[in-house]
């Protein structure tokens, strides 16, 4: 960093030279935050107020739109479905991927590389193109209109990435770790869940964060597998709302705010891990 | 001797445990990803009646893709996906490099700006699309602002205009994902040794020279990752189009993409509603699969060769 400080120039002119750069950064910050600000203040306005008072704060902070979105448009139900699917898929992905990554990264099996390659090939597979055959499969298994079906499909899609991350983290742990436990008579299941997994907590959080974001946000699979309103997830419900309640802008803004709330909260708590996780993935190749 | 037999018994236990440990993940992955994908590729060479596979048809499904009435849809969608990719490379990955460089030159505020820039990327494209659809609607806040600033007169119809709609969607997608290049480039820049920049500075290089002649060649791995990711994402583009313009890619297919076309063929929204053409859909899927795999491999090789080793 210090190598980049411009030497031999007075502080004021150095700051002045940096002004255009700061302006560029602030302009994009506004481009990101202004739409989100409008989204938030519009949630508290009636449709008439949204037209009259575009940018200002609402006349009063009324929660009618939120209540209407949650009950009349039944977003509460969709919210619960999304929570179940996200929670289920994150849990299943972490458990089965950690189990698979443990022998693949720490045993000498002779076929580690081939099996790992088979999993890794799935990271980039365009699974949407298989949706016709997947639809037939789900129908035959009785998994259409089912949250379990969504959990299984999402886990299947996220397993390659999770195995990759877990295997990378587990490979570098010292081998004395499991050998000592084995000497003490611990079984392989205990070694994995009580010794290895607690050592790779960063991997668990990377997998949990990125699986949760991907599953919570997905729209394509509910669109083709879910027909019954009782099982619709948040993104699917939102895509319907936007057309259905076109004239009731406050309601649509409120439902958008509700649907991004969990991700927003998670992002505020975990922004640093997410930034570092994404940056690291870029360097990984 | 005793030691040897213990080792081999451990080896046998490990083989057995390994199979048991890998099986759940492998079963779920094979059943819901590998099997349907393989069947889709295989099925594209057969005739279909509804969801039932008929007799072997060779390449006839593929031939039908390129003739009336599919040819106009196919070429249109291909062109839109290609434009989308170049638009994203320019607006997202190009401007993202500028943002990352500006953040790299500043000691303060980088974490804050990175967090703000990346925030839209954690939102669902459905939410982003719905939000921008409301903002850009006739009577919406963007129209109001442009009218107020005197930049535009009357009703704003950029999403209903077939000349502008696609570019508006590309801009929304770039807004959505701008944080990704910023994070990946900054991580790449931080890996470059400070001595390299110092040497360039002593040789009298300005900031712009340093970015293009010193940093950019060393950022090839990051640029390769971004190009490949953007390629895969743009050729899978579906959500934003569906939410903002409908599954037909309105107006008059001006924002149609390969995946929205695939979806209409497979799930019955092309032509008469409810009529599907699975053979055509699978052929399109296989073609898209080939485009994605070959494109990705070529890009990885291209950037691998241009990676500068220090």
Whether residues A17 and A52 share a domain: the answer is yes
For testing the chain B interface, which of A51, A88, A129, A224 should be mutated: the one with the most B CBs within 10 Å? A129
Q: Do A120 and A29 belong together in one domain?
A: no
Which range has the worst mean pLDDT, A8-22, A214-228, B118-132? A8-22
**A125 & A163 share domain:** yes
Residues A53 and A78 in one domain: no
Cα→Cα distances B175→A106, A259, B93, B119, Å: 42, 19, 11, 10
Neighbours of A62 (CB within 10 A): 15
pLDDT of residue A285: 33
Weakest mean pLDDT among B10-24, B197-211, B226-240: B197-211
Has residue A255 been placed in a domain?
A: no
pLDDT in tens, B282-298: 999 999 999 999 999 99
CATH number at residue A93: 1.10.3720.10
Give the distance from residue B197's alpha carbon to the nearest chain A alpha carbon, in angstroms.
Answer: 7
Task: Identify whether A265 is part of a domain.
Answer: no
A6 and A32 assigned to the same domain? yes
**DSSP per residue over B109-155, as a string?**
SHHHHHHHHHGGGGS-HHHHHHHHHHHHSTTSHHHHHHHHTTS--S-
What's the number of domains chain A is made of?
2
Domain-embedded: residue A26:
yes
CATH numbers and ranges of domains, chain B: 76-305 (1.10.3720.10)
Task: Report the candidate in A116, A89, A80 with the shortest Cα–Cα distance to residue A230.
Answer: A80
A25 and B99 within 8 Å at the Cβ level: the answer is yes
* Residue A284 binned pLDDT confidence (cut-offs 50, 70, 90): very low
* Closest among A65, A73, A68 to A42, alpha carbons compared: A65
Same domain assignment for residues A157 and A105: yes
What are the pLDDT digits (tens) for A77-121? 999 999 999 999 999 999 999 999 999 998 888 888 999 999 988
Interface subset of B 19-58, CB within 8 angstroms of A? 21-22, 24-26, 28-29, 31-37, 39-40, 43, 51
Question: Could you say which of B24, B33, B285 has the minimum Cβ distance to residue A157?
Answer: B33
Q: What is the mean pLDDT of residues B168-180?
A: 95
Residue of chain B whose Cα is closest to the Cα of A25: B99
Q: Which residues contact B115 (CB under 8 A, 6 or more apart)?
A: A271, A275
Which chain A residues in 191-230 lie under 8 Å from chain B, judged by CB atoms? Answer: 192, 213, 216-220, 223-224
What's the burial of B115, exposed, middle or buried (CB within 10 Å: 0-12/13-18/19+)? middle
A93 and A50 co-located in one domain: no
Q: What is the pLDDT of residues A180-230, one digit of tens each?
A: 888 888 888 899 999 999 999 989 988 999 899 999 999 999 999 999 889
Rounded to 10 degrees, what is the CA torsion of B238, B244, B246, B252?
A: -100
Residues of B in contact with A267 (CB under 8 A): 119, 122
Question: Which chain B residues touch A253 with a CB distance below 8 Å?
Answer: 134
Residue range of the domain that includes A39: 2-62
ipTM exceeds 0.90, yes or no = no
pTM for the whole structure: 0.89
Q: Please, which residues 195-254 of chain B have a Cβ atom closer than 8 Å to chain A? A: 195, 197-198, 201, 221-222, 224-226, 232, 235-236, 238-239, 242-243
pLDDT exceeds cutoff 50 at A2: no
Helix ranges, B192-267 (H): 194-202, 207-209, 216-218, 220-235, 239-245, 258-267
Alpha helices in A62-184 (DSSP H): 64-70, 75-106, 112-120, 131-140, 147-171, 176-183
Question: Are residues A146 and A13 part of one domain?
Answer: no
In this structure, of A50-59, A71-80, B242-251, the range with the lowest mean pLDDT score is A50-59
Dist. CA A98–CA A163, nearest whole Å? 7
CB contact under 8 A, B40 and A130: yes
Does one domain contain both A86 and A170? Answer: yes
Decide if A24 touches B, using CB distance below 8 A: yes
| A22 and A102 share one domain | no
Please indicate, yes or no, whether residues A47 and A94 belong to a single structural domain of this protein: no
* Predicted confidence (pLDDT) at residue B99 exceeds the cutoff of 50: yes
H or E element, residue B53: strand B52-56
pLDDT at B6: 64
Tens digit of pLDDT for each residue in B12-46?
A: 888 888 999 999 999 999 999 999 999 999 999 98
Element (H, E) at B10: helix B2-29
Cα–Cα distance measured from residue B252 to residue A282, given in angstroms and rounded to the nearest whole number: 38
Instruction: State the average pLDDT for chain B.
Output: 87
- Tell me what pLDDT residue B269 has: 66
pLDDT at B51 over 90: no
In a domain, A137, yes or no: yes
Backbone angles phi, psi at B193, to 5 degrees: -65, 140
Co-location of A124 and A21 in the same domain: no
């Amino acid at each position: 960093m210090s190598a980049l400080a411009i030497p031999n120039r007075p502080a004021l002119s150095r700051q002045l030279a940096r002004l255009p750069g700061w302006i560029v950064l602030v302009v994009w910050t506004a481009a990101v935050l202004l739409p989100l600000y409008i989204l938030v203040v519009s949630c508290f306005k009636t449709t008439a107020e949204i037209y009259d008072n575009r940018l200002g704060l609402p006349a009063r902070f009324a929660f009618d739109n939120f209540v209407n979105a949650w009950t009349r448009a039944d977003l509460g139900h969709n919210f619960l479905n999304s929570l179940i699917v996200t929670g289920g898929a994150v849990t299943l992905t972490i458990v089965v991927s950690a189990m698979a990554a443990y022998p693949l990264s720490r045993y000498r099996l002779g076929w580690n590389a081939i099996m790992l390659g088979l999993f890794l090939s799935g990271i980039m597979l365009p699974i949407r193109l298989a949706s016709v055959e997947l639809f037939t499969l789900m129908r035959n298994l009785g998994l259409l209109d089912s949250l379990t079906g969504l959990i299984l499909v999402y886990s299947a899609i996220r397993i390659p990435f999770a195995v990759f991350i877990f295997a990378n983290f587990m490979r570098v742990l010292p081998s004395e770790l499991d050998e000592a436990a084995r000497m003490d008579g611990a079984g392989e299941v205990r070694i994995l869940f009580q010794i290895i997994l607690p050592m790779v907590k960063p991997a668990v959080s990377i997998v949990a964060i990125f699986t949760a974001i991907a599953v919570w946000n997905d729209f394509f699979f509910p669109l083709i597998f879910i027909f019954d309103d009782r099982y619709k997830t948040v993104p699917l419900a939102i895509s319907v709302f936007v057309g259905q309640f076109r004239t009731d802008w406050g309601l649509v803004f409120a439902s958008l705010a509700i649907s991004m709330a969990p991700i927003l909260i998670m992002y505020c708590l975990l922004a640093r891990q997410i930034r570092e996780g994404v940056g690291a993935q870029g360097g990984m190749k | 001797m005793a030691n040897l037999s213990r080792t081999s018994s451990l080896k046998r236990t490990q083989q057995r445990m390994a199979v048991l440990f890998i099986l759940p993940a492998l079963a779920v992955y094979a059943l819901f990803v590998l099997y349907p994908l393989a069947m889709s590729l295989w099925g594209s060479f057969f005739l279909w009646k509804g969801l039932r596979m008929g007799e072997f048809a060779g390449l006839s499904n593929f031939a039908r893709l390129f003739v009336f009435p599919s040819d106009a849809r196919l070429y249109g969608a291909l062109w839109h996906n290609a434009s989308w990719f170049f638009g994203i490379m320019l607006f997202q990955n190009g401007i993202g490099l500028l943002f990352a460089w500006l953040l790299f030159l500043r000691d303060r505020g980088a974490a804050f700006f990175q967090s703000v820039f990346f925030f839209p990327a954690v939102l669902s494209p459905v939410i982003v699309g719905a939000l921008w659809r409301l903002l850009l609607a006739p009577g919406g806040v963007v129209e109001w602002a442009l009218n107020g600033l005197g930049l535009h007169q009357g009703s704003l119809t950029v999403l209903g205009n077939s000349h502008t709609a696609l570019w508006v969607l590309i801009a929304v997608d770039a807004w959505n994902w701008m944080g990704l290049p910023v994070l990946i480039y900054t991580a790449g820049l931080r890996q470059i040794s400070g001595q390299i920049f110092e040497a360039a500075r002593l040789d009298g290089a300005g900031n712009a020279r340093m970015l293009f002649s010193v940093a950019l060649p060393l950022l090839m791995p990051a640029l390769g990752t971004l190009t490949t990711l953007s390629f895969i994402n743009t050729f899978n583009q579906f959500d934003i189009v569906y939410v903002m313009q409908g599954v037909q890619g309105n107006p008059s297919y001006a924002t149609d993409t390969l995946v929205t076309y695939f979806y209409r063929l497979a799930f019955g929204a092309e032509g008469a509603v409810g009529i599907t053409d699975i053979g055509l859909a699978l052929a399109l899927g296989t073609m898209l699969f080939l485009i994605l795999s070959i494109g990705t491999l070529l890009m990885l090789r291209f950037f691998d060769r241009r990676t500068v080793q220090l």
